[in-house]
C-alpha cells in the first residue's frame, strides 16, 4: 500500500497546486486573515505505524473546529452519557455559527460540533476547574494522541478571536440564560477560544487522529464504543451544513476547521489530515475537501 499511497498524495498535491480557485481565508478572526492563501499539505498516519505526506506538511496552522473532536472525547470521558442531556447529536442543517436554531430549541444545541454545542462541551471540561487546568488537560490529551509535547496554543489567535467573537458571545450568553452553561460565559469562551487556537501541522494532526482509528498499536485514549460514537458524529455533523456532501463525496467521518484543516478517519486503517487555508462557501477548506475526495477514491477508502 505504501507506494500507492505516497504516489496518490503526490499527485493530489500536484493537482491542488494547479487550482485556479483556492477559496478564501477566514477573515472574521483577523489573525487567520493573515495566513497566505496558496498553501496545501496532506498527511496520512496508517494503522501499520507509517506516516506519509506531501506538500506543506510541517507548517503549523490553527486547527480551530477540528479541536472539537478532542474536546468531545475529553468531555465524554468526564461526563459520560450525561453530556447528551446538554447537547444533542443530530445534524443541524445550519451554519457552524448559527444563532436562530438555539432559541427554537431552548438552549440545547443540536450537536457538539456546531459552535453552540462546542461551547457546551468546553464548558463541561471546564466545570470545577481553573481555565488553565482545563486547557492543560485538553492540550495533554492532544499531545498524548500525537505523541509530541511540542504542540501549543497560539495565544495571538485566541486573543484575535476573543476581540471579534461577538457571535460566540451571543451564543454563550443565550446558553447561560437557558441554564445550559455551568461557568460564566466569559470564562467558558476564553477556554473555547484557546482550545480552537491549538496549532498543528498536517503530520501532527494525522497522528492526533490515530486514537479514532481502532487498530492495534494506535493510542488508546477512549474506549472502542466511544470511538464509534465520535466517528458517527463526525460523519453526520463534522462539516455542518455540508456534512451530507462530505459523506456523499468522501464517505469517511471527518471534521473541518476554519483554519483550513480537515481530519478524516478510515476506521481500522488510517487517519488523514489535509490543510489548505482557503475555504468554500460552507466554511470548510476548499482544496482540502477536494483532496479528501480524491484520496478516498484513489485508495478505495470508505465506510460504505
Could you tell me the smallest distance in angstroms from the CB atom of residue 115 to ligand DON? 5
Eight-state DSSP code of residue 24: B
Sole window of 74-82, 126-134, 141-149, 254-262 interacting with ligand DON (rule: CB under 6 A): 254-262
Closest approach, Cβ 2 to ligand DON, in A, equals 31
Helix axes 115-126, 185-196, angle to 10 degrees: 110
Interface residue with ligand DON, options 115, 191, 201, 243 (CB under 6 A): 115
Does 277 sit near ligand DON (CB under 6 A)? no
Q: Is 97 in the site for ligand DON (CB under 6 A)?
A: yes
206 touches 43 (CB < 8 A):
yes
Rounded to 5°, angle at Cα 143 from 160 and 116: 45
> Cβ distance 191 to 59 under 8 Å?
no
As measured in angstroms, the least distance from the Cβ of 166 to ligand DON is 11
Interaction with ligand DON in 7-46: which residues (CB under 6 A)?
none
Compute the least distance from the CB of residue 62 to ligand DON, in Å.
8
258 binds ligand DON (CB under 6 A): yes
H or E element in which residue 190 lies: helix 185-196
Q: Does 53 bind ligand DON (CB under 6 A)?
A: no
Only one of the segments 16-24, 53-61, 131-139, 256-264 lies at the binding site for ligand DON (rule: CB under 6 A); that segment is 256-264
**What are 43's strand-pairing partners?**
53, 273
Among 39, 121, 160, 284, binds ligand DON (CB under 6 A): 284
Query: Is 121 one of the binding residues for ligand DON (CB under 6 A)?
Result: no
Q: Give the separation between CA 244 and CA 46, rounded to whole angstroms.
A: 26
Q: Which of 65, 67, 160, 285 is catalytic?
A: 65
**And the C-alpha cell for 96?**
457552524
Is residue 28 annotated as a catalytic residue, yes or no? no
How many residues at the interface with ligand DON, by CB under 6 A? 13
Query: Does residue number 261 form part of the binding site for ligand DON (CB under 6 A)?
Result: no
φ, ψ for residue 174, nearest 5 deg:
-65, -40
240 is catalytic: yes
Instruction: Enumerate residues 6+ apart whose C-beta is below 8 A from 255.
Output: 65, 66, 68, 69, 113, 234, 238, 239, 262, 263, 264
Say which DSSP state 285 is in.
B
Contact letters (x/-) for ligand DON, 164-193, by CB under 6 A? ----x-------------------------
Q: Select the residue interacting with ligand DON from 196, 207, 230, 299 (CB under 6 A).
A: 196
Three-state DSSP class for residue 275: strand
The alpha carbon of 54 is separated from its chain's Cα centroid by a whole number of angstroms, namely 20
Q: Which DSSP symbol is given to 38?
A: -
Which residue, judged by CB position, is nearest to ligand DON in the bound state?
65
Phi, psi for residue 45 in degrees, rounded to 5: -105, 120
Q: Which of 87, 240, 271, 286 is catalytic?
A: 240
Catalytic residue among 25, 157, 258, 272: 258
With binding defined as CB under 6 A, does residue 61 bind ligand DON? no
Cell reading at 193: 477560544
The catalytic residues are 65, 68, 192, 240, 258
Question: What residue ranges bind ligand DON (CB under 6 A)?
Answer: 64-65, 96-97, 115, 161, 168, 196, 256-258, 283-284
Amino acid at each position: 500500500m505504501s507506494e500507492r499511497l505516497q504516489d496518490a498524495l503526490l499527485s493530489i498535491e500536484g493537482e491542488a497546486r494547479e487550482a485556479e480557485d483556492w477559496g478564501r481565508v477566514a477573515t472574521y478572526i483577523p489573525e487567520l486573515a493573515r495566513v497566505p492563501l496558496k498553501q496545501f499539505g496532506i498527511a496520512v498516519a496508517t494503522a501499520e505505524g507509517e506516516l506519509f505526506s506531501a506538500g506543506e506538511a510541517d507548517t503549523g496552522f490553527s486547527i480551530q473546529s477540528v479541536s472539537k473532536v478532542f474536546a468531545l472525547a475529553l468531555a465524554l470521558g468526564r461526563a459520560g452519557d450525561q453530556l447528551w442531556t446538554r447537547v444533542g447529536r443530530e445534524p443541524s442543517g445550519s451554519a457552524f455559527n448559527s444563532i436562530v436554531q438555539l432559541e427554537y430549541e431552548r438552549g440545547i444545541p443540536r450537536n457538539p460540533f456546531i459552535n453552540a454545542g462546542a461551547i457546551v462541551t468546553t464548558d463541561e471540561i471546564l466545570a470545577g476547574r481553573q481555565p488553565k487546568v482545563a486547557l492543560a488537560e485538553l492540550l495533554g490529551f492532544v499531545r498524548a494522541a500525537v505523541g509530541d509535547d511540542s504542540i501549543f496554543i497560539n495565544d495571538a489567535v485566541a486573543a484575535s478571536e476573543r476581540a471579534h467573537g461577538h457571535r460566540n458571545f451571543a451564543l454563550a450568553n443565550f446558553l447561560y440564560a437557558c441554564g445550559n452553561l455551568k461557568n460564566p460565559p466569559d470564562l467558558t469562551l476564553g477556554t473555547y477560544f484557546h482550545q480552537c487556537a491549538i496549532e498543528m501541522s498536517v503530520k501532527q494532526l494525522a497522528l492526533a487522529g490515530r486514537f479514532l482509528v481502532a487498530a492495534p498499536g494506535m493510542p488508546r485514549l477512549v474506549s472502542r464504543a466511544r470511538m464509534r460514537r465520535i466517528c458517527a458524529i463526525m460523519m453526520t455533523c463534522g462539516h455542518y451544513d455540508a456534512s451530507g456532501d462530505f459523506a456523499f463525496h468522501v464517505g469517511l467521518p471527518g471534521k473541518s476547521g476554519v483554519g483550513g484543516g480537515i481530519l478524516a478517519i478510515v476506521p481500522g486503517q488510517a487517519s488523514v489530515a489535509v490543510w489548505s487555508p482557503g475555504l468554500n462557501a460552507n466554511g470548510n477548506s476548499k482544496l482540502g475537501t477536494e483532496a479528501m475526495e480524491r484520496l478516498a477514491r484513489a485508495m478505495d477508502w470508505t465506510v460504505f
